Chain A
Amino acid sequence: MADILVYVPGIGKPAAEVLTLARTLGDVSAIAFDDRAADAAAEYGAAKVYRVSADGADDYFIDPKATVLIDLARKVGPAAFLLPGSDEGKALAARVAIGLDNGLLTDVSGIDAEGTATQDIFAGATVATSKITKGFNLATVKPGAVATEPAPSEPVVEAVEVTVAEADKRVRIAVRVDEPAGDRPGLAEADVVVSGGRGVGSSEDFALIERVADALGGAVGASRAATDAGYYPHKFQVGQTGTTVSPQLYLAAGISGAIQHRAGMQTSRVIVAVNKDADAPIFGMSDFGVVGDLFQVLPQMLEEAEKRG
């Protein structure tokens, strides 16, 4: 079978997505820079793991990893090379494209063994199929687009020892600041996302959105109008310039449904909206909607849920 290279990030869902898709194309050789990534490769069916140790690589941005990926791609000559559609994945894919003068597709939601890929374009309004006509099938996978499925394997592990070149040490990661995730599930990983928009009106009132999220075991999201107004931190923004989510349930409260917001949530399985404007575009894509004041509707919903609970 064809060799499929995969860059596996050390974080759960994106790793699982890219590995699950890669498995359908051929024998997967995973590139792992840490143990978490190597474990994910074994959990999701890789035949081989390149376990890279590059002393000090973690202190620098993109370049050390890019060099390793370019070298491995050149050595392996894969049929396809898939990376997650994160900022890091796209940056690495761009470096590989330049390094090997190879075509590149970004944000594919699927790709077959012939290399025909599907892509959502124009914030998801259009679905395109496309392919690479020069080189191997180099693509980044859109977050949330692949239904993940474990397939434990016992991959052959090949250790790759690398010395980071001086030229790759120019962009230093001087400080890492992790903001505490809290008790709720991560936005991109959650099965339920409850988002508030400008209609929530204040940061205090976002407590209601949090209560609904907690009652449904979900994550809290926000529209850009809400994050811009300071009602909720920016990292919770859903949409084109925020996180793309694809949960089982997306509940939008006080959100009009602008195209840039829809870009980040329209592939959710069930969409529910509460908005006092019957003409809000969000209703056009909702499976269930309540035209009404979110401060009436949501507390009553919570009360009723508790009764049923």
Chain B
Amino acid sequence: MNIVVLVKQVPDSGLARQLDAGLRVDRSGANNVMGELDEYAVEAALQLKEAHGGEVTILTLGPDQATETIRKTLAMGADKAIHVCDEAVAGSDALATSKILAAALGRLEWDLLIAGAESTDSGMGVMPHLLAGRLGVPALTGARSIEPDGEGVKVEHQRDNGYDVLTAPLPAIASVWDTINTPRYPSLKGIMAAKRKPVETLTLGDLGIDAAEVGGEAATTEVLTATDRPERSAGQIVTDEGEGGRALAGFLAAEKFI
């Protein structure tokens, strides 16, 4: 089974993040990491490859520095990577991003595409279905497990109150939550091997996409304003010296919860 994994580089969600002067996600900082759910997508692909053979290709659309993220995926064990990198992409909305990723996917031979269920920056959680719509390929999203099913694929789609077992023929698109596995750390050997693995860099021209179709000018949505949410201010904090529980009960009673 040949698998393509969609990986996006994002600002670390554990640290402060902001929009830049142009109201776009500020990616200039040094704190860029692999999309946190994308690590689970890479791990899922590697486990499928280890059990059933095939090749794992990483596909990333992002600026120059996204190569650091690509290196990490190769060090984890992916075989090769495609990096779509073009200045004209800056400011693209989700629709344009899906157009570019779809064009890149059109050049590859693949059976299964695995993405994170949502990116941890814009966090829209729509890319797998945007691609399914564009490519006319079935999508089995929100997976907590993925396994082959005869000639097709089977996933457990996670819901709030249970799960659904979904099956589909290949090629297909899946997306994963963090319940699916525990991503591996790259080994020293993996890090060394990654240096020799092929990374192909493509521009919009290589994909036959006109720069005017993507980027900020072509965006179908616009951010008008951005303000920091006023921090919730701390209220009364008491230290328990034997009466903490009673103080808590008093607060809850005053607020009419008990």
Residues of A within 8 A of B (CB): 61-63, 66, 87, 90-91, 93-95, 97-99, 101-107, 116, 120-135, 167, 170-179, 181, 186-188, 192, 215-216, 224, 234-235, 240-241, 243, 248-249, 258-260, 266, 270-272, 274, 278, 283-293, 296-305, 308-309
Contact = CB atoms under 8 A, between A and B. Distances in A.
Contacts of B160: 186-188, 235, 243
B130 interface: yes
22 contacts: A90-B126, A94-B132, A94-B133, A103-B220, A104-B124, A106-B124, A126-B228, A130-B223, A133-B222, A171-B139, A171-B166, A172-B167, A174-B166, A175-B165, A177-B164, A241-B37, A260-B13, A283-B237, A291-B238, A297-B240, A300-B249, A305-B258
Interface residues of B, number: 83
Given A286-B237, A300-B245, A123 B164 contact: no
Interface in B26-40: 37
A98 B134 contact: yes
Interface stretch (B62-70, B74-82, B91-99): B91-99
A106 B251 contact: no
B244 A292 contact: yes
A287 B130 CA distance: 41
Interface stretch (B14-22, B103-111, B189-197, B199-207): B14-22
For the complex of A and B, 3 pairs with smallest distance between CB atoms: A300-B245, A292-B240, A103-B220
A118 to B, nearest CB: 9
Contacts of B98: 98
B234 A301 contact: no
Nearest to B250: A304
Contact of B247 (A176, A290, A305): A290
A284 B234 contact: yes
Interface in B100-157: 117, 120-127, 129-130, 132-134, 136, 138-142, 154, 157
Contact of B126 (A93, A278, A290): A93
A258 B36 CA distance: 15
B54 interface: no
Given A177-B162, A272-B251, 12 more contacts: A61-B139, A91-B126, A94-B126, A133-B222, A170-B138, A171-B166, A187-B160, A216-B257, A289-B236, A289-B238, A299-B245, A304-B249
A296 B223 contact: no
Interface of chain B: mostly helix, strand, loop or mixed:
mixed
Contacts of A240: 13, 120, 123
Interface in B149-194: 154, 157, 159-169, 172, 177-179
Contacts of B127: 94
B222 A123 contact: no
Contacts of A304: 245-246, 249-250
Contacts of B229: 120, 124-127
A99 to B, nearest CB: 6
Contacts of A95: 129, 132-133
Contacts of B132: 94-95
B231 A285 contact: yes
Given A126-B228, A284-B231, A284-B234, A106 B258 contact: no
B200 to A, nearest CB: 26
B258 A126 contact: no
B51 interface: no
A284 B235 CA distance: 8
B161 A178 contact: yes
